[in-house]
Amino acid sequence: MGEHRTDRIAFIGLGTMGSRMSQRLVAAGSEVIGFDPVEAARADLVEAGGRAAATAAEAADGVDYLILMLPGSRVVESVLGDTALLDALKPGTPVIDMSSSEPESTRKLAAALAERALPLLDAPVSGGVRGARAGTLTIMAGGPDDVIAAVRPVIAPLGTVRHVGATGAGHAVKAINNLLAATNLLAAAEGVAAGRRFGVDPGVIIETINAASGRSAATQLKFPQNILPETYDSGFALALMLKDMRIATDLARSVGAPAALGERAVELWSHAAADLDPAADQTDIARWVNRPRTP
């Protein structure tokens, strides 16, 4: 796992991704103080050798780095709007938002935190639960060169850091990535549905497309791992994917970029979200495509 670390890291948000990521940091030698309102999530970190705090502000007290892995910008804004937490941080402490947040919100938060000499980096991730567990995430970092350089070795146990631009750029690229991933997944689900109804075995369709030009992460990973076995258990909520798709189409709108296909994908995924259980997995979109319809 490389060099043994001795940093003190506060880790806020110990959910599907944050639990695995915080535990990797513990395994890399860092002292990790975690907070999540869910007690079981705090207990898991303690069992893995970390420490749990009763509040985010308590976790942040005097640490070297603060990492956030929260559902999205509203929660990030509320955590970073807590003056007790900000007062608990030493000036200069890097704040690293690894959640898939909104680039505009990130820029505003970075400006507000700069007044307290707290640099905010965006460092969202791709690679899912498997990548979080294995430390093979792609980390899309936005922010100043010197802060990225300081943070790089600390988060290296989580994956590969790609510095994509200024503050907010990481969150922008992450949202664009997920809009593509979601559009590809829906397109693949429609393609497989058509082929199957024509009488071709879905496994054969996927194997063949994976040796041809229509392949994507949807056909190479999600169909073989979660959809063909009918487990629908990728670990990434459909609601979170839809949140990211909207971030990307809002971004396109704000800069006047074309997003006709993206807007249509958002519309279809919104219908799926309305029809399905709030806890549905992103891969449930393939089940939704095949739903019985009233004529």
List, by residue number, the catalytic residues: 174
C-beta of 133 vs 196, nearer to ligand NAD: 133
Residues 6-65 that bind ligand NAD (CB under 6 A): 12-18, 35-38, 41, 56
C-beta of 139 vs 151, nearer to ligand NAD: 139
Distance from C-alpha of 21 to C-alpha of 124, rounded to nearest angstrom: 12
Distance from C-alpha of 38 to C-alpha of 155, rounded to nearest angstrom: 24
Binding status of residue 155 toward ligand NAD by CB under 6 A: no
Binding status of residue 192 toward ligand NAD by CB under 6 A: no
C-beta of 86 vs 209, nearer to ligand NAD: 86
Distance from C-alpha of 159 to C-alpha of 19, rounded to nearest angstrom: 15
Residues 218-257 that bind ligand NAD (CB under 6 A): 235-236, 240, 244
Instruction: Answer for the pair 54, 31: CB distance below 8 angstroms, yes or no.
Output: no
C-beta of 128 vs 168, nearer to ligand NAD: 128
**Cα 33 to chain center, whole Å?**
21
Which residue stretch of 126-134, 151-159, 208-216, 266-274 sits at the interface with ligand NAD (rule: CB under 6 A)?
126-134
Binding status of residue 141 toward ligand NAD by CB under 6 A: no
- In angstroms, give the least distance from the CB of 70 to ligand NAD: 5
Distance from C-alpha of 144 to C-alpha of 165, rounded to nearest angstrom: 8
By CB under 6 A, the count of residues binding ligand NAD is 30
Q: Where are the alpha helices (DSSP H) in the chain?
A: 16-27, 39-47, 56-60, 73-80, 83-88, 103-114, 128-134, 145-155, 169-197, 202-209, 217, 238-255, 260-275, 284-289
Return residues touching ligand NAD (CB under 6 A).
12-18, 35-38, 41, 56, 69-72, 75, 78-79, 99-100, 125-126, 128-129, 235-236, 240, 244
